[in-house]
Amino acid sequence: MFSATLSQNQAFAFEEIQKYVGKTSNKVQLKVDDGEKGRFLQASCALKAGEVILSERPIFEGNTTGTRSQKVYCEAFLEKQLSPRNSSKGGGLEELPEFEECFHPRSPLIDCIAGVLLCKKRAKSEALEQDTREAAKIQLQKLCSLCRSTAQSEANHRECAEDLWGALRKDFQELTSLEELTYILQILSSNRFGYSEQSMELMFAGSMFEHSCLPNCFLGTWQTKDGEAGTQTYRALRDIKEGEALSIDYLNFPAGYCPAAARAKALQGWGFSCTCPRCVSLPEVERSFVCPACGEPQLCPSHPSSSEMGCLSCGKAPEADYVARCLDREAKLAQAHSRSPVADDDASQAEDEEESLLGFHHHLVFQALWQEAEQGLPEGEDLPAFQQILEALVESISSVCRRKEHPAMLDFYHMAALSTHEDLEVQKKYLAHEHCILQQFYPEEAARQDAEIMALVQGNGPMQATGITQKHALSEMD
């Protein structure tokens, strides 16, 4: 019977971790560096852009249904948080708190912790088959193997663990401890790359990718029709040489589109500082202003730690007073953004001139444009402005990624194509861009779409998708 407290002592030895990673994919191998780098994934063969590197199901997951939470937490906690005044008619919450660590039974994090405790209960239950108990034990050992540091957990982990302890049913309080809950929180906090407001998935091999703000891999899970729910797929973002370390962006877009200082702060939770070119030596495009000489939105610091600005378009440097105006406007907008104040019409009119100082590559403008795009297609006269927003987002992503195509552009090109249904030539241009990205990063889906279009042209009718299904139905493109 499994009775051990979850701790670093329950983690697999490095050789065992290597074995499990190898079972996930023969295209990667786990290496270890005795310095600060620690464990990392390495390409065991040459990889092409868009090639699937590995696919796996999560070890543990949580979502807003609260299914696991309802089996673990006490009635008082569940009744308080899931009472009618906090729920919609369908039993779902009208609105969850925005912050990740929300103490709520339908928070993905809290639901995921409940899943870990249920797994430990299965591992200890003598009423279950031996195979079931062993499978649960392996899950828990994989969890412990993801601990990135044996250092003492942060104070907020302990505080959250105390709150969780008080919310547990008595039998689960007997199953765990404050120290164990703190340990679980530490692991989840440092391995939650795919977190969203609706779900959280803790991967095993996927948690061992290095981070880079200019990664060579990405989480490229395509919508499937018959595929296993929860399976996550990682793909090559560019051609990768054999022996090259594999990296993903832990922050992703839009969160990762911010200045180096903000990214460094966000990455503190993983316990390291990023030293990729984007964080150290490349121009800080995310802080772009309008150049007074050429009018292009390409004026930015020459590198993240530089106080000097230059235009990437004309190469000229502005006067000191213009730089001061830009920085002052940036600071005011950043402060307003953090407070989310209600705009004052008179103040807005007075600041129109200063507003134009920020280029559309600037992270504050980018975030606002991204939110606009997330609202979906507008109607009528707003379509041309919406197309400009989409094109600005694509150009901004291209500028920071230093590449013409990126998977994050796919939805924007698709929306742009839908917004231009009355202009077939322009729509054709956007569809060509969309298909180019599909061919590069999702080649099997591009081939399937090409085959379906050919079948339609030949009068055979649409093909029946057997694997990957179309993300965007062809009927939507008409």
Q: Are 27 and 166 within one domain? A: yes
The dihedral over CA atoms of 410, 414, 420, 421, expressed in degrees to the nearest 10, equals 150
Least confident of 180-189, 353-362, 373-382: 353-362
Q: Does some domain include residue 257?
A: no
Position 464, amino acid: Q
Q: Are 350 and 381 within one domain? A: no
Q: Does some domain include residue 347?
A: yes
Residue 60 and residue 113: Cα distance in Å, rounded?
Answer: 8
Tell me the backbone φ, ψ of residue 249, rounded to 5 degrees: -90, 115
Q: What is the mean predicted confidence (pLDDT) over 152-176?
A: 85
Q: Are 161 and 70 within one domain? A: yes
Q: Are 303 and 168 within one domain? A: no
Q: Does some domain include residue 260?
A: no
Q: Does some domain include residue 253?
A: no
Q: Between residues 458 and 141, which one has the greater pLDDT?
A: 141
Question: How many residues are present in the chain?
Answer: 478
Which of 355, 390, 416 is where one domain is finished? 355
Q: Are 203 and 342 within one domain? A: no
Q: Are 326 and 410 within one domain? A: no
Q: pLDDT tens across 18-64, in order?
A: 999 999 999 999 998 876 678 899 999 999 999 999 999 999 999 88
Which of 327, 355, 383 is where one domain is finished? 355
Rama region for 243: left / alpha / beta (φ>0; ψ in -120 to 50; rest): left
Mean pLDDT taken over the chain: 84
Block residue for tokens 């790359």: 193
Q: Does some domain include residue 420?
A: yes
Predicted pLDDT at 192 = 73
Tell me the backbone φ, ψ of residue 211, rounded to 5 degrees: -100, 145
Which of 317, 333, 355 is where one domain is finished? 355
Residue 292 and residue 357: Cα distance in Å, rounded?
Answer: 9
In this prediction, residue 454 has a pLDDT band, given cuts at 50, 70 and 90, of: confident
What is the total count of domains within the chain? 3
Q: Does some domain include residue 184?
A: yes
Q: What is the mean predicted confidence (pLDDT) over 117-144?
A: 95
Q: Does some domain include residue 207?
A: yes
Q: Does some domain include residue 219?
A: yes
In this prediction, residue 223 has a pLDDT band, given cuts at 50, 70 and 90, of: low
In this prediction, residue 344 has a pLDDT band, given cuts at 50, 70 and 90, of: very low
Q: Are 160 and 24 within one domain? A: yes
Predicted pLDDT at 156 = 72
Q: pLDDT tens across 396-453, in order?
A: 999 999 888 999 999 999 999 999 878 889 999 999 999 999 999 999 989 988 888 8
Predicted pLDDT at 149 = 59
The half-sphere exposure of 463 on its side-chain side, counting CA atoms within 13 A, is: 17
Predicted pLDDT at 196 = 63
The pLDDT of residue 471 is above 70: no
Q: Are 327 and 470 within one domain? A: no
Predicted pLDDT at 157 = 82
Residue 291 and residue 242: Cα distance in Å, rounded?
Answer: 42
Q: Are 198 and 310 within one domain? A: no
Least confident of 1-10, 252-261, 456-465: 456-465
HEC letters along the chain: CCCCCCCHHHCCCHHHHHHHHHHHCCCEEEEEECCCCEEEEEECCCECCCCEEEEECCCEEEECCCCCHHHHECHHHHHHHCCHHHECCCCCECCCCCCCCCCCCCCHHHHHHHHHHHHHHHHHCCCCCHHHHHHHHHHHHHHHCCCCCCCCCCHHHHHHHHHHHHHECHHHHHHCCHHHHHHHHHHHHCCCCCCCCCEEEECCHHHHCEECCCCCEEECCCCECCCCCCCEEEEECCCECCCCECEECCCCCCCCCCCHHHHHHHHHHHCCCCCCHHHHCCCCHHHCECCCCCCCCCEEECCCCCCCEEECCCCCCCCHHHHHHHHHHHHHHHHHHHHCCCCCHHHHHHCHHHHCCECCCCHHHHHHHHHHHHCCCCCHHHHHHHHHHHHHHHHHHHHHHCCCCCHHHHHHHHHHHHHCCCCHHHHHHHHHHHHHHHHHHCHHHHHHHHHHHHHHHCCCCCCCCCCECCCCCHHHHC
The pLDDT of residue 349 is above 50: no
Q: Are 50 and 192 within one domain? A: yes
Q: Between residues 282 and 350, which one has the greater pLDDT?
A: 282
In this prediction, residue 477 has a pLDDT band, given cuts at 50, 70 and 90, of: very low
**Containing domain of residue 351, as a range?**
286-355
Q: Are 26 and 47 within one domain? A: yes
Predicted pLDDT at 343 = 40
Other beta carbons within 10 angstroms of residue 79's beta carbon come to: 10
Predicted pLDDT at 457 = 80
The candidate with the shortest Cα–Cα distance to 113, out of 251, 6, 249, 252, is 6
Domain CATH code at residue 86: 2.170.270.10
Q: Between residues 288 and 268, which one has the greater pLDDT?
A: 288
Percent of all residues in the chain with a pLDDT value above 70, rounded to a whole number: 82
The pLDDT of residue 362 is above 90: yes
Contacts of 431 (CB under 8 A, 6+ apart): 413, 417, 477
Q: Between residues 363 and 199, which one has the greater pLDDT?
A: 363
Least confident of 115-119, 230-234, 467-471: 467-471
Residue 314 and residue 309: Cα distance in Å, rounded?
Answer: 12
Q: Are 83 and 116 within one domain? A: yes
Q: pLDDT tens across 285-319, in order?
A: 999 999 999 999 999 999 999 989 999 999 999 99
Predicted pLDDT at 5 = 83
Q: What is the pTM of this model?
A: 0.85
Predicted pLDDT at 65 = 86
Predicted pLDDT at 173 = 95
